[in-house]
């Protein structure tokens, strides 16, 4: 005696929907195989351990960070004469150790970028920002004749004070960060500058600096 299978209309409808869904999935897979372009994976930053940092590595990393004293203080005492040379001290350390120690290379590049910001960046800001402020102040003074300058002149004066504070404090902030980093790396720690460290890490992982 055999059991007979009885299909209802609902069963037939479910089977039909299942076949349709299967066919649609096959079409989607076929389309993806032909036209889908895989996303480029982001290059992960290189990592290193600070457990086995040698005395040589910590000394060179410390030297790269501490060279900011030579750039800023030496530049002040020599009226900027030493800056074109001292600013490249961390970069020299980088090229010496880029294939020998990721630890030293990373910290040397951090130090180099910090010194660029503290010297070249501040100088560019002073020239561009100072020129823009001067032009704006002239316009504000001329506007006094139409009464609008009565408000613009003091406001623009405050902008000038803020710009002057930024230009004055940035080198000292960089000097403080460089000093902290020098002490930390001398103690075999992994100090990272805000914002700068992430950018340097990306460059070492697969950016322009990794090629150079």
Q: pLDDT tens digit string along 51-84?
A: 788 999 999 999 999 999 999 888 888 888 888 8
Q: What percentage of the chain carries pLDDT values higher than 90?
A: 33
The structure's pTM equals: 0.69
The whole-number pLDDT of residue 4 equals 47
Per residue, the 3-state secondary structure of 133-195, as one string, reads HHHHHHHHHHHHHHCCHHHHHHHHHHHHHHHHHHHHHHHHHHHHHHHHHHHHHHCCCCCCCCC
Q: How many CB atoms lie within 10 A of CB 101?
A: 20
pLDDT band for position 25 (cuts 50, 70, 90) = low
Average pLDDT over residues 96-119: 92
Taking the domains of the chain in order of start, what are their residue ranges? 53-211
pLDDT reported for residue 136: 84
Instruction: Express each pLDDT in 149-206 by its tens digit.
Output: 577 778 878 888 998 999 999 999 999 999 999 999 999 888 999 989 888 888 887 6
More confident residue, 12 or 127: 127
């Amino acid at each position: 005696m055999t059991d007979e299978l009885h299909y209802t209309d609902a069963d037939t409808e479910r089977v039909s929907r299942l076949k349709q869904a299967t066919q649609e999935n096959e079409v989607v897979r076929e389309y993806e195989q032909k036209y889908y372009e895989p996303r480029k994976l982001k290059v992960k930053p290189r990592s290193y351990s600070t457990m086995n940092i040698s005395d040589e590595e910590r000394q060179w990393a410390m030297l790269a960070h501490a060279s900011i004293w030579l750039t800023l203080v030496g530049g002040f005492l020599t009226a900027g004469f030493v800056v074109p040379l001292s600013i490249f001290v961390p970069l020299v350390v980088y090229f010496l150790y880029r294939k020998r120690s990721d630890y030293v290379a990373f910290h040397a590049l951090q130090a180099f970028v910090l010194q660029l910001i503290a010297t070249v960046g501040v100088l560019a800001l002073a020239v561009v920002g100072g020129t823009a402020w001067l032009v704006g102040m002239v316009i504000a003074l001329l506007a006094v004749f139409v009464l609008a300058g009565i408000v613009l002149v003091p406001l623009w004066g405050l902008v000038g004070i803020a710009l002057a504070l930024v230009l004055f404090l940035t080198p000292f902030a960089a000097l403080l960060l460089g000093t902290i980093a020098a002490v930390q790396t001398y103690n075999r720690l992994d100090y990272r500058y805000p914002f700068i460290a992430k950018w340097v890490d990306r460059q070492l992982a697969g950016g322009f600096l990794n090629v150079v």
